[in-house]
Amino acid sequence: MSILKRFISYYQPYRVLFFADMFCAVLVSAVDLAFPQILNFLSSNVFTQGRDVILSSIGYAGLLLLALYILKYFCQYFITSWGHIMGARMEADMRLDLFDHYQRLSFSYYDKNNTGEMMSRLVNDLFDVTELAHHGPENIFISVLKIAGSFILLLMINVKMTMLLFLVTLIMVVFSIERNFRMKAVFMDNRVKIAQVNASLQDSLAGIRVVKSFANEEVERNKFCKSNQDFLASKTRSYKMMGGYHAWNSLFTGLLYIAVIVAGGYFIAEGTLHVTELVIYILYINIYVNPLEVLINFTEQFQKGFSGFKRLTDILETQPEIIDKPDAVPLDQVRGEIEFHNVSFRYNNEDDVLHDVSIRIPAGKNIALVGPSGGGKTTLCSLLPRFYDVTAGSITIDGKDIRDLTLKSLRSAIGIVQQDVYMFSGTIKENIAFGKREATEEEIMEAARNANIHDYIMSLEEGYETFVGERGVRLSGGQKQRLAIARVFLKNPPILILDEATSALDNESERYIQQSLEKLSADRTTIVIAHRLSTIRNADEIIVITDEGIKERGTHRELISENGIYSNYYHMQFEGLESATPDY
C-alpha cells in the first residue's frame, strides 16, 4: 500500500465528519470571495445613484453581509473544533495500530531495536499528524478553490496584470518545491534525533539502579547530553531553514503587491484601468495571496506530519516473522509429548547456536539441560513457544509440528519461569492474574498458596491489593519469583520450562521455591535448566549441551558413572567448591 493511500485510509471511519468539514470550508471561502463582489456591485451600481437609493440599499447590503459573516462564524467554529477532533481521532487510530503491530512483532525485531526509540515513534512522531490530517485536505482543497476563484475574477478585471501576477506566482511555487525537499530531510532528521534522546533516556532510567550503584551518573549524563545536543543541532537546522523559507515567502508576497501597484499605475496612466478597478483588484489579490501563503506554509506542516507518518508506516510494513499459518489449527487436548527433530538454529546470520539437536521428551516426563553458559540452553527452550523459528529441523508437540499450530494455543500450553521475572506496575493480584485473566479471587489465592507466597501476601497491610511498584521494585527477588510461579500455577499449562528459575536466589529462598517448583512440574512435561545440579538429580533424563552440541545424555546415575562433563560438574559442586563451578 502506498503511503498516501494508507494515510487516506485513516479518514475512512470519519467520512461524515470529513465532508462536513469540507463543506464548511467551502462556505467560508465563498463568504470571503463574496465580499469584494458585493463591494464591487455597490460601488458600480449603487454608490453612483442618489442619496435615497444608497441609503435603502446599504441597509440590505449590510444585513446580507451580516448574515454571511454569521454563517462564516458557525462554519469556522465547526472547522476548528471538529476538524481538529477528527485529526486527533485519526492520530489515536494510528497510535493504536502501531501499538497492535508492536505486540505482533517477533522477538527478533525486539533484539534489534531500542525500546526508547520505539516509544518515540508512537508518541512524538505522531504529534504533528493531527494538524496534517485536519488541515491537509482543507488547506489544499480550499486554497486551490480560492486561488482558482480569485484568479478567474482577477482575469475578468484585467488580463495583462493577472498574467504578470501569474508569472511571479510561478517563481514562488518553483522555489517552494525546491525548499520542500530540503525541509523534508531536516524534519526526518529531527525525528531520528528525538528518538535517540528517548532511547538514551529510557536506557538510563531503566538502569537507574545500576547507574547509581556504580556512581556513574556523570557517564550517563554525558551520553544523554550528546543526544540532547544532537537533537538541538538538528532543530537549529530546521529553524534556520524555516526562517529562510518564511522570510522569502513574505518577500515574494511583497513583490506581488509591488508588481500590481506599478503595473496598475501604468495601466491607469494608459487609460486601460479604472482606479476603482485597481482597488477591487487589490482586494482580490488579498484573497489570492492568502491561500497561496497558506499553501506554502502548509508544505512545512505537511513535511512535519508526513515525516512522522512515514516512520509509522515503516514499522507497520515490517512483517512479524512469526505468525499463524493461514491453515493453523489450535493445539488442544495436549498430552505434552515434545520432540526436537534435528533442530538447528542461529540468530540472524551468525553461526549456528544449535546444530542438529534431537531430543524426545515423553508426556509428563522431566528433562534437565546442563552445560556451560552460552551453550544454547535458553535458546533451545525459546524455540518451543516459537519465540524464534528453527532454521532447520522441526519441533513437534504430540506429533504436531508447532508451526502448524496457532500461536495462541501453542503459547497457552507452555508455562515459563525464568531467572529474571517481570512484574507489571500494578497490584499483586493483577500480577498473578496475568496467568489467567478471567481467574476468580479463589483461584488466585489457590495459586499463591501453591507458590508458597499466600501467607506473605496476607501479612501485608493491603494483602492482594498491594502495589508492587514499577517492575516489582517493592518485592524481593524470591518474592517476585514466587509470584511468577503463582502465575504459572494459575495458567496451569501442560508443558513447563524452568530456565534457571532459582539461580538468582540465596540458598534459603531457593530451597523454599524448589518445593513449589516440584509441585508445579508434577504431571507436566518439564524442561529444567538448573544452576545447582542437586535440584535435577531426579530428572528422567539429563542432557549436557555445550556449544559443540549435545555431549552427554542419560539419568543422573548413568552420567555419574560415565565420569564425563556432568560428573565433573557434579563433583565440583558436591565438594562444596561452588566458586570453582564452571561458568554456567
Q: Which chain residues interact with ligand ADP by CB under 6 A?
A: 111, 347, 353, 373-379
| CA distances to 166, 238, 252 from 172, in Å | 10, 20, 7
Q: Shortest Cβ distance from residue 377 to ligand ADP (Å)?
A: 3
CB 431 within 8 A of CB 468: yes
Q: Shortest Cβ distance from residue 551 to ligand ADP (Å)?
A: 13
494 binds, among ligand ADP, Mg ion, none (CB under 5 to 8 A by kind): none
Quick note: the x/- pattern for Mg ion over 320-359, rule CB under 5 A, is: ----------------------------------------
376 binds, among Mg ion, ligand ADP, none (CB under 5 to 8 A by kind): ligand ADP
- Of 78-86, 301-309, 347-355, 374-382, which segment contacts Mg ion by CB under 5 A? 374-382
Q: Shortest Cβ distance from residue 576 to ligand ADP (Å)?
A: 24
13, 199, 161: which is closest to 90 by C-alpha? 13
Q: Is the dihedral of CA 317, 323, 326, 330 positive or negative?
A: negative
Q: Shortest Cβ distance from residue 353 to ligand ADP (Å)?
A: 4
Q: Residue 426 or 477: which CB sits closer to Mg ion?
A: 477
How far is 410 from 494, CA to CA, in rounded Å? 11
Could you tell me whether strands 541-546 and 525-529 are parallel, antiparallel, or unpaired per DSSP bridges? unpaired
Q: Shortest Cβ distance from residue 372 to ligand ADP (Å)?
A: 7
Q: Residue 364 or 372: which CB sits closer to Mg ion?
A: 372
Does 378 contact Mg ion by CB under 5 A?
yes
Q: Shortest Cβ distance from residue 89 to ligand ADP (Å)?
A: 38
CB 377 within 8 A of CB 529: yes
253 binds, among ligand ADP, Mg ion, none (CB under 5 to 8 A by kind): none
523, 530, 446: which is closest to 485 by C-alpha? 446
506, 481, 468: which is closest to 421 by C-alpha? 481
How far is 71 from 28, CA to CA, in rounded Å? 8
How far is 359 from 339, CA to CA, in rounded Å? 6
How far is 160 from 167, CA to CA, in rounded Å? 11
347 binds, among Mg ion, ligand ADP, none (CB under 5 to 8 A by kind): ligand ADP
Q: Shortest Cβ distance from residue 414 to ligand ADP (Å)?
A: 17
Q: Shortest Cβ distance from residue 374 to Mg ion (Å)?
A: 8
Helix or strand run (H / E) with residue 280: helix 275-316
How far is 422 from 435, CA to CA, in rounded Å? 13
CB 444 within 8 A of CB 496: no
How far is 532 from 150, CA to CA, in rounded Å? 84
535 binds, among ligand ADP, Mg ion, none (CB under 5 to 8 A by kind): none
Q: Shortest Cβ distance from residue 245 to ligand ADP (Å)?
A: 45
Distance of CA 150 to the CA centre of its chain: 44
Q: Shortest Cβ distance from residue 526 to ligand ADP (Å)?
A: 17
How far is 365 from 367, CA to CA, in rounded Å? 7
Q: Shortest Cβ distance from residue 199 to ligand ADP (Å)?
A: 18
Q: Residue 82 or 347: which CB sits closer to ligand ADP?
A: 347
452, 443, 444: which is closest to 514 by C-alpha? 452
Q: Residue 86 or 381: which CB sits closer to ligand ADP?
A: 381
Q: Shortest Cβ distance from residue 376 to ligand ADP (Å)?
A: 4
Give the position of cell 456591485: 41
Q: Residue 178 or 583: which CB sits closer to ligand ADP?
A: 583
How far is 510 from 530, CA to CA, in rounded Å? 11
CB 489 within 8 A of CB 518: no
How far is 147 from 31, CA to CA, in rounded Å? 14
Q: Residue 228 or 379: which CB sits closer to ligand ADP?
A: 379
How far is 488 from 495, CA to CA, in rounded Å? 10
| CA distances to 119, 194, 300, 305, 307 from 233, in Å | 22, 11, 19, 20, 18
How far is 144 from 256, CA to CA, in rounded Å? 18
How far is 584 from 570, CA to CA, in rounded Å? 12
Q: How many CB atoms lie within 10 A of CB 69?
A: 12
320: left (phi over 0), alpha (psi -120 to 50) or beta: beta
Q: Residue 135 or 377: which CB sits closer to Mg ion?
A: 377
Q: Residue 364 or 564: which CB sits closer to ligand ADP?
A: 564
62 binds, among ligand ADP, Mg ion, none (CB under 5 to 8 A by kind): none
Q: Residue 294 or 357: which CB sits closer to ligand ADP?
A: 357
How far is 374 from 452, CA to CA, in rounded Å? 32
Give the position of cell 444608497: 54
Q: Shortest Cβ distance from residue 377 to Mg ion (Å)?
A: 5
Half-sphere exposure at residue 286, Cβ-oriented, CA atoms within 13 angstroms: 11
Contact set with Mg ion (CB under 5 A): 378
